[in-house]
Amino acid sequence: MEKIKKIAKYTTNILAIINALILGLDPIWHIPYADKISATIIVIVGVIGTYLLSDKAVNVIKKNKN
């Protein structure tokens, strides 16, 4: 489980960097479909973030019950 969380965190960071590059370079290079690519990356990062937060919340609730 820890390995999955670590991979999810790295994936989120990598996608955030790629998204920043796309948004920063689009005005210069006119990347086709940059807005749709960016929106897709944002959704993926949101889903991964929700997974990480929900996992953390479940762990906190389990600790409080014990």
> Does position 58 have pLDDT exceeding 90, yes or no?
no
pLDDT (mean) for 22-41: 97
pLDDT at position 20:
98
Residue 33: which region, alpha, beta or left (left: phi > 0; alpha: psi -120 to 50)?
left
Q: Mention every residue, 6+ apart, whose C-beta is less than 8 A from residue 56.
A: none
> Does position 8 have pLDDT exceeding 90, yes or no?
yes
DSSP 53: H
| Mean pLDDT of the chain, nearest integer | 93
d(CA 58, CA 35): 34
pLDDT at position 55:
81
Question: What is the model's pTM?
Answer: 0.84
> Does position 16 have pLDDT exceeding 90, yes or no?
yes
> Does position 66 have pLDDT exceeding 80, yes or no?
no
Domain range summary for the chain, segments of one domain joined by +: 2-65
Q: Quick count: other Cβ atoms within 10 Å of Cβ 34?
A: 16
